[in-house]
Structure 1
Amino acid sequence: MAQIGIETISDNISMIDFELSGVKRIGALYLIKGDKTCLVDSGTKESAKKIIKGLDSVKSFPPDMIILTHSHWDHTQGVPTFCREAEKRSKKIVVMASEKAISNLKDQSWNSVFDEKHKYENVIDVEPLKEGQIIDLGGIELEVIDFSGHCADDIALYDKKHKIIFIGDSLGYKFEHSLFFPPFMPPFWDKDGFYSAAEKLKKIDYEKIFLAHYGCLNGKEAQDFPNETVAAMETWWNVFVESDKKGKLDDVTYMREAIVKEANIVMPEVEIAKASMRIMLSLINMGKKIFGKEPIDVGAVQLEGFINWLVKGYKGATQ
């Protein structure tokens, strides 16, 4: 099993690339170390064992607690594996999430909106968090802030002393420091909630933002983020509105081309995590070249899959 990437951000924070969907640098967890250790989100069931191995390598498994920023599968499904492994070591992980998330965690079957074939494990024994509650890690305090919009139960975690904030997926995704993707995911997207969360962020005294997808923003990039992500969401949303009028929402190729044009998207090169998959893709594309066929563009495939999810989020909010 290959070693998962753990990057030191500061003395107290490390970023873990959990290789979402087998791709590097699109999904992150954060390990926070005070007197107690805290993992922000848990990744997927498929990534859990690699994350445990990575945390073991830095002597940080099990963490004292896991705080879930919301109840979508790519943030929650590592929890059961982590808790079972901790129990094998006679340890217990305290799992926390918004009080709004408890019922959504107890029954995770609704995540089938993302993949009907996947089996989602329920997440139980979760401590509910309220807005304004302070989580004391010993030397680090995290304030819980309701950022619902992307999901019905988003929270942000604000460290006032160090002027940093962890916002999960609540205000969207940013890759390669320039590529914005919007967060109107099914089944709980709330546009007004998104705008409210963006306004809340503008009023917070922060220097760094930690995104689940993907990485740490600081300085001017962090300060510009609230306005830029709102503008990006509105650009994408307008593409969906116009495509809906034309009856084109379910034409994924049309949608991809429209979004690339209107949002000026340039997809970065996608790095597949597993060497075996890279070799297989190389061989497949070699064969396609021999027979005069277009090679598989992993970035385009990923983008179309993302668009399919957004279509469901858009329809759920408008139809």
Structure 2
Amino acid sequence: MKSNEYASMLVEDGVHHISDYRGDSFYLIFGDNKAILFDTGMGNGDLKGYIKNLTDKEVEVIISHAHWDHIMQANQFEKVYMNHKDIEIIKLFNMNIDYTNFLDIRDGEIIDLGKRKLEIIEVPGHTPGSTVLLDKDNKLLFSGDAIGAGHTWMQLPGCLPLTQYLESLYRLSKRSNEFEKIYHGHLAGTDFKPFPREYLFDLIKAVEKVISGELVGEPYPYGNFGGLYVTYGMATLVYNPQNVK
């Protein structure tokens, strides 16, 4: 796939998975009245035009977090929501994103699409403003990278300490009876299959065991940010040993 191309497939009733040339995942979620595009990927094509081929409904954008592979085409759209805690991430990485018109979005807000409601849940950790969407009626969670995509990256500049991240995970776990599938930010990495909710509990155990010292990681061989990694069940946690507590 070229950098200006996109591909999509229907993964749930009223939910299109869209991927760009790097295999990044974003989701077009439909209601009767409008649609939400959750993240905008890293391609350099006409994403807005591509979306218009999928729906004639009004489309608003929600950014899960302000890393390149989730935000780079956001400026093609008129109405973009992002937790403003992540503005510091845009600044930290000196990203060429105009965020001046981004609307803030906060924990507990409900987005009514018409016969489909999405609840905003903040899960700070991967970034300070990481946000997930809960579709309670359909038992779906759209998570970006807030709880990882097979490998949960907590070694990046701007990540919160693991102790703070654990509090976010505990809080999300209290809602786990409200979702059965987790559609994360890099679905190609899990053969285009969402995680079951049990993945969240494996991730919690991995974080707990690193904090307690029960698990000590090995050097992480991928990416440019180093770190150590541990595995527990379905979850692989990558972390900075200087940013645990």
- Same fold, judged at TM 0.5 (above): yes
Query: Which of 182, 185, 188 in structure 2 is aligned with 1:209?
Result: 182
In structure 1, distance between residues paired with 2:210 and 2:222 = 14
Higher helix fraction (1 or 2): 1
In structure 2, distance between residues paired with 1:213 and 1:190 = 23
Task: Report the equivalent of 2:203.
Answer: 229
Structure 1, unaligned runs of 5 or more:
84-92, 113-118, 175-179, 244-254, 257-302
The code of the aligned residue for 1:305 comes to: G
Superposition CA RMSD, Å: 3.3
Task: Report the equivalent of 1:161.
Answer: 137
How many residues are paired up? 228
- Find out whether 1:104 has 2:73 as its counterpart: no
SS in 2 for 1:54: helix
Task: Report the equivalent of 2:232.
Answer: none
Task: Report the equivalent of 2:14.
Answer: 12
Q: Higher Cα Rg: structure 1 or 2?
A: 1
Query: Which of 45, 65, 68 in structure 1 is aligned with 2:63?
Result: 68
In structure 2, distance between residues paired with 1:313 and 1:236 = 9
In structure 2, distance between residues paired with 1:169 and 1:155 = 9
In structure 2, distance between residues paired with 1:138 and 1:192 = 38
Query: Which of 301, 304, 308 in structure 1 is aligned with 2:222?
Result: 304
Question: CA offset at residue 67 of structure 1?
Answer: 0.4
What do the CA deviations read for 1:99-131 (whole angstroms, capped 9, x no partner)?
Answer: 423x437xx23125xxxxxx5333221111121
Task: Report the equivalent of 1:262.
Answer: none
What do the CA deviations read for 1:231-285 (whole angstroms, capped 9, x no partner)?
Answer: 4556788799666xxxxxxxxxxx34xxxxxxxxxxxxxxxxxxxxxxxxxxxxx
Higher strand fraction (1 or 2): 2
In structure 2, distance between residues paired with 1:217 and 1:144 = 23
Question: CA offset at residue 230 of structure 1?
Answer: 3.1
Structure 2, unaligned runs of 5 or more:
230-237
In structure 1, distance between residues paired with 2:134 and 2:217 = 37
Task: Report the equivalent of 2:38.
Answer: 40
- Contact 2:108–2:121 (8 Å) recurs in 1: yes
Question: CA offset at residue 195 of structure 1?
Answer: 1.3
Relative to structure 1, the CA distance from residue 79 to residue 240 in structure 2 (aligned partners, 3 Å threshold; closer, same or farther) is farther
Task: Report the equivalent of 1:282.
Answer: none
Question: CA offset at residue 32 of structure 1?
Answer: 0.7
In structure 1, distance between residues paired with 2:115 and 2:244 = 45
TM-score, normalised relative to structure 1: 0.61
